[in-house]
Structure 1
Amino acid sequence: MATVEAHHDVCSTDVEQLLGRRVRYQKHKPGRYLSLERIPLVAFQIDTVNRFGSRVVLNDGAVVMESAPTVMERAGRIALLLATGEELYFTVE
């Protein structure tokens, strides 16, 4: 029962809702459909979210995802969960 109650606090949203948020990279579960080559390791603001077909690009290429992620936010932590099993986690500054 505690698990069910804990999940009520989770808020799911679209990746566009992250615009203007100041975040810091925390960790990721890698794969071939998530590119983090240019992601800053310091706190940064999410300034752009662009979609090109099924591809989603944050901050002009800092993060490239081959499909739109499910975005979950809980207790100052943002998780981007891709259908491929890849995950990207930010902490909110």
Structure 2
Amino acid sequence: SAFYAPGSAAAIMAEAVLNDRKRLIPASALLSGQYGLDDVYIGVPVILGAGGIERIIELDLSEQELASLQESGNFYKSQLTDILGY
């Protein structure tokens, strides 16, 4: 449910960090070249441990999927630039 799911996700993330579980979970991460994107936060699979996001997992996307992800990331980044002046 919309009530329990966010709390459950936060508990899973906290447990992964506090106990250094190196757990594979989806999270919003700052991309630095992954998927051909830079300086934009996107929800991607990550390994979460005591160091926070320890690694971003790059999935093997089709050309169309990668193009769609890049289009979304670049659109989001341009909107932030327009609105916030970044």
> Which structure's relative contact order is higher, taking Cα pairs within 8 Å and 6+ residues apart?
1
- TM-score, structure 1 length as denominator? 0.27
- TM-score, structure 2 length as denominator? 0.28
| Greater fraction strand | 1
Of the two, which has the highest radius of gyration?
2
